[in-house]
Amino acid sequence: MKIYMRKNSMLVSGIVLLAVLVLLAVLIPALSPYPVTAQNAELRNAPSSFSHLFGTDKFGRDIFVRVFAGTRISLAVGIGSALICGMAGILYGSAAGYAGGKADMLLMRAADVIDAIPSLLYVILIMLVMGAGIGSILLGICIGGWVGLARVVRGEIMRLKSEDFCTAARLLGVGNGRLLFIHLLPNAAGPIIVNVTQLIPKAMFTEAFLSFVGVGISAPAASLGTLIQEARSQIQVAPSQMLYPMLVLCILILSVNLTGLGLEKSIGRAEGGGW
Amino acid sequence: MKKTVSVLTAISLIGILLLGGCTKQEKEVKDSTKEIVVAINSETGGLDPAGMIALTYLAYSVSALDELLTFDEDGEVEYRAAESYEVNEESTVWTFHLRKEAVWSDGTPVTSKDFSNTIVRALKPESGSGYANYLFPIKNAEAVYNGETDAGSLGVDTPDDYTLTFTLEKPCVYFLDLLRLPVYTPSCSAYARGASDGWDKNPETSVANGPFYLDEYVPEQYFVLKKNTKYWNADEIKLDKITYRFFADQQSMANAYETGEVDVATGLQSSVMELYEGTDDLYITDTIATRYIYPNLNVKPLDDVRVRKALNLAIDREELCKIVGDDTEPTVNFIARYMKDRQTGEYFVDGAKKPFEENVEEARRLLAEAGYPDGKGFPELTYHYPTLEMDSDTAQVIQEQLKKNLNIDIKLNAQELQVNYTERRAGRFDLCRMNWTADFADPYTYLSMLLSNSTYNCSGIRDEEYDRLVEQSDTEMDPVKRAQLMHEAEQLAVGEKFYIIPLYTMKSCNLIRPDIKGIAQIPATGALEYRHAYTVEENK
């Protein structure tokens, strides 16, 4: 691990940025004297000052707190969906790859069908049934989000299945479950980890986009996307209200992407592979 | 050789560019003198005066349809489709003589049958007309609507093609004010048969009797009105074309104005006021409207008058308006703040004391009395509102105020405009945002909404005493006594039974290109009318 880190500035900067943002997202809403939804009619559209670092919005709410409360939601959506999609994708893909033949064909075509429908449609439908909220968004993103990973896992398992070590294990009488989970999957860990990491910024971006077009988290809760959306009408009067959440969203997505790319580089180098 | 070719190519390319530029410029100049582009809210409802209509129809009809007569800014009668009228002494039989020279945009004459066509179709409940109840002053109209008798017995007679007679159930002093409503405007009997067969948005069948006719309709995007050269008063109409473009929100409207995409943008958000302050583009008008909330009386605990009163008293409307924008003004009345009393010329609501005063202490006491001390045990109510910025802001402020003042939780549910209308109509809500812009210049446009038989009464209000008071005011011929009865009815509905939660009234913030003149404001509703608009050529 140490060796990976020392020579990989991308990974280091990504992890440091991410750690700082996670820390801020956890601490600031907890420690700030201003609750996330507290309004103050006397202090509307205030510019940045010492008491309100990012100023206030048209309700007189502190933008600094709201931005980092929004970061919490973005992080939760990103990591939550990566975990769910990761689990589903690994299980589904490895089952298809390991079984092969007709089962593989059926499983992968079913996945293609699910993947063919855009996630926006899923989210809108789920919103109608379950109402707006973080759960609906998570479910909407995850319904189709695991398919890409499942394809990668399936390919890896198919490749490894025909390797000598696998045949050897099988000859020694190793059962299916053990062969898959102890011998095959750990060997495919590199590409899986990289792909799961890349799911995080994708989910964050989808959430911000959905909130921006108005089918996201319901008011007055604030995700970074809703904050940008709310600042739209004030853009000519107080442009900074839109600038801060956008900056934080950019840095957040950048940090996760850097981490993903850094991991990809390190693992690729460690395995000596050409990808 | 090679060089000459390339030079020639370059020259010809430049030439093409220049020439192209010339023609385009010429065209723009030609168009801009006779055409305006108006930004309007997203598409809602159809264009059939007898059908389910909303904002889109209202934008269309002010330019395309001629009502029998209307009132100008000084309150004088302005004849449109009719050229004269007579009324009997009891004001129960009204006879209108139509203009013989008036024709539809396809050249066929406008006849009295076209007027009765709209009325008969609107009285079929499946038409979905929200204005059908404004026909009820006509004899037997309510019975026809309820299916108790057939359309033949209706008090609308067409003795000949150019005479239209209304026989009323009882005297109605504001009958002339009603005539500008959709259900009293004509629809061509040659095409308009059903409400749902789509004739209203098809330029071939959607003919108009007003100064403009429908030329093109692209759903969700825009519609184009062209000058009706066969219009009886066509000489007075200067514009050739009005394009209405749909916009999903106010910010995109303001942006479209900023970039020159549209020439007129109405009903913009208040930040535009600050931005355009002092310029000729800004045009602020009073809208005759009230934004309020319907508490659903079929939902516990909103059936308890104490709870409704507590909610009303706990909202700080001053603070609300301060946050929502400079274009709003707090009101505790149901009848629009800016509606004028024709007799006195004063604002009608100033003629009586306010229905109630805000009082947080009293609200807390009432809530405790109703069984929810400090909000304990109070169920979480859901507030439905359309995804318009003003309503979203309002919802967030009210949620915060009720939490702070009464310690109760309100869940917010933003809905697409059309979904919000449908759910409201079906009565599927706890609290629902409502906005009512006056249809005609009489407080009855408001009071009639809460009647037991009103199509806009979606919250289950059934109050016999209120119905009786409104009905009494309806037949009262003495203006002073009538105003008194109407004040009483409002006091009962708003100040005693708290059937609604009034919030604020609005000013409309509009942007209009300074070179467009002649845009008038309809006194009854405060909406803008473009039929006499023209553009002044700027000397460049």
Cα(B411)–Cα(B402) distance, integer angstroms: 11
Answer for the pair B402, B364: CB distance below 8 angstroms, yes or no: no
Distance from CA of B243 to the nearest CA of A (A): 25
Closest CA to B170 of B139, B214, B145: B139
Question: What's the rounded mean pLDDT across residues A77-89?
Answer: 92
Cα(B119)–Cα(B123) distance, integer angstroms: 6
Q: What is the pTM of this model?
A: 0.75
Cα(A106)–Cα(A185) distance, integer angstroms: 22
Give the largest Cα separation in chain B, rounded. 101
Closest CA to B395 of B501, B488, B313, B289: B501
Cβ-nearest to A237 among B275, B322, B399: B275
CB–CB contact B393 A214 (8 Å): no
Question: What's the rounded mean pLDDT across residues A238-256?
Answer: 90
From residue B192, alpha-carbon distances to A105, A167, B50, B197 in Å are 56, 78, 9, 9
- Report the 10 Å Cβ neighbour count for A142: 22
Supply the pLDDT for residue B28: 43
Supply the pLDDT for residue A59: 85
* Range with lowest mean pLDDT among A89-93, A189-193, B483-487, B491-495: A189-193
Distance from CA of A136 to the nearest CA of B (A): 14
Chain A interface residues (partner B, CB cutoff 8 A):
37-39, 41, 44, 58-60, 131-132, 214, 218-220, 232-237
CB–CB contact B395 A37 (8 Å): no
Cβ contacts of A232 on chain B, cutoff 8 Å: 251
Supply the pLDDT for residue B511: 92
Indicate whether A268 pLDDT > 50: yes
Distance from CA of A44 to the nearest CA of B (A): 8
How are beta strands B431-437 and B381-386 bridged, if at all?
Answer: parallel
CB–CB contact B271 A236 (8 Å): yes
Cβ contacts of B319 on chain A, cutoff 8 Å: 41
CB–CB contact A233 B414 (8 Å): no
Residue B243 is encoded by which pair of tokens?
């394009």
Supply the pLDDT for residue A10: 87
Choose between B17 and A82: higher pLDDT.
Answer: A82
> ipTM score here?
0.74
Q: Hey, of A37, A39, A129, which one would you mutate to test binding to chain B, going by the most B CBs within 10 A of its CB?
A: A39
Cα(A146)–Cα(A163) distance, integer angstroms: 26
Nearest residue in chain A measured CA to CA from B393? A59
Cβ contacts of A233 on chain B, cutoff 8 Å: 250-251, 269, 271, 389
Cβ-nearest to B400 among A39, A234, A237: A39
Ranges of chain B whose pLDDT falls below 50:
21-32, 539-540
In sequence order, what are the residues at sequence separation of 6 or more whose Cβ sits closer than 8 angstroms to the Cβ of residue B17? Answer: none
CB–CB contact B319 A60 (8 Å): no
Q: Hey, of A40, A218, A236, A237, which one would you mutate to test binding to chain B, going by the most B CBs within 10 A of its CB?
A: A236
Answer for the pair A223, A211: CB distance below 8 angstroms, yes or no: yes
Cα(A97)–Cα(A153) distance, integer angstroms: 8
Supply the pLDDT for residue B59: 86
Supply the pLDDT for residue B2: 58
Across B349-387, b (16+ Cβ under 10 Å) vs e yields: bebbeebbebebeebbebbbebebeebeebeebebbbbb
Q: How many CB pairs under 8 A join A and B?
A: 51
Place of tokens 């940008």: A228
Distance from CA of B158 to the nearest CA of A (A): 50
Supply the pLDDT for residue B11: 64
Supply the pLDDT for residue A23: 93
Cβ contacts of A44 on chain B, cutoff 8 Å: 322-323
Cβ-nearest to A39 among B250, B251, B323: B323
CB–CB contact A59 B413 (8 Å): no
Cα(B109)–Cα(B104) distance, integer angstroms: 6
CB–CB contact B400 A220 (8 Å): yes
The count of residues in chain B is: 540
Cβ contacts of B265 on chain A, cutoff 8 Å: none
B138 DSSP assignment: B
Max mean pLDDT range (A229-233, A267-271, B73-77, B233-237): B233-237
Tens of pLDDT, residues A167-180: 898 888 888 888 88
- Report the 10 Å Cβ neighbour count for A3: 10
Closest CA to B209 of B98, B335, B320, B317: B98
Supply the pLDDT for residue B8: 62
Q: pLDDT-derived band of residue A22, with 50, 70 and 90 as boundaries?
A: very high
